[in-house]
Amino acid sequence: MQFHPLPIPDIKLITPIRRGDMRGYFSEVFKDRWFRENIANTQFVQDNESLSATTGTVRGLHFQLAPYEQGKLVRCVRGALLDVAVDIRKGSPSYGEWVSCELTADNGEQLWVPPGFAHGFITLAPETVINYKVTAPYSSQHEGGLIWNDGAIGIEWPIMEKYILSDKDLKLPLLAELPICFDY
């Protein structure tokens, strides 16, 4: 496995090595010891999977508050998505900044998003499936979020004919309205 820090160094792009032949390929997509030594000394407690049927589906930007703050290791197992993370750690030199990566089933790359970041994605292909490991279980009492298209953040989302969001995600606050959720 290889990893690359992104412009916000706490977020890492991980590329598992694929060994292939005429039959296809084999890849180790997660190794606990390697992850703890190279990315974050953390424990994953749950694996989640989501299917987005339509191109242009936006999920997020989501996070969870203490004591259920989540780190996420995200990978695309079918289709393609633009994965986005926004730094919401008050006092961070990159507070309010964002990074994105295109994750596809073909490239096999994964994005590590530690606690303190709002996370979301938009599907670039129909029938996109993502799988992600989390460091804390879901807790509805501790969930939070940011509106996906906050102009003050300025995420460069791909132009789509239509954007599909849940009613809940359409009502999320702007970054300027967000109370302090995480300290740097």
Task: Output the six-digit token pair for 19.
Answer: 């060994």
The string of DSSP letters for 74-103 reads EEEEESEEEEEEEE-EET-TTTT-EEEEEE
CA dist., res. 64 & res. 70, Å (int): 6
Q: Is residue 62 annotated as part of the catalytic site, yes or no? A: yes
Alpha carbon distance, N-terminus to C-terminus of the chain? 28
Q: What distance in Å separates the CA atoms of residue 88 and residue 181, rounded to the nearest whole number?
A: 7
Query: How many angstroms from the chain centroid is the CA of residue 150?
Result: 17
How far apart, in whole angstroms, are the C-alpha atoms of residue 89 and residue 2? 26
Rg (CA), the chain: 16
- Which one is catalytic: 4, 25, 62, 138? 62
Q: CA dist 29 to 2, 60, 80, 125, Å?
A: 11, 24, 17, 22
Which residue in the list 95, 132, 142, 163 is annotated as catalytic?
132
Question: Which amino acids are annotated catalytic?
Answer: 62, 132
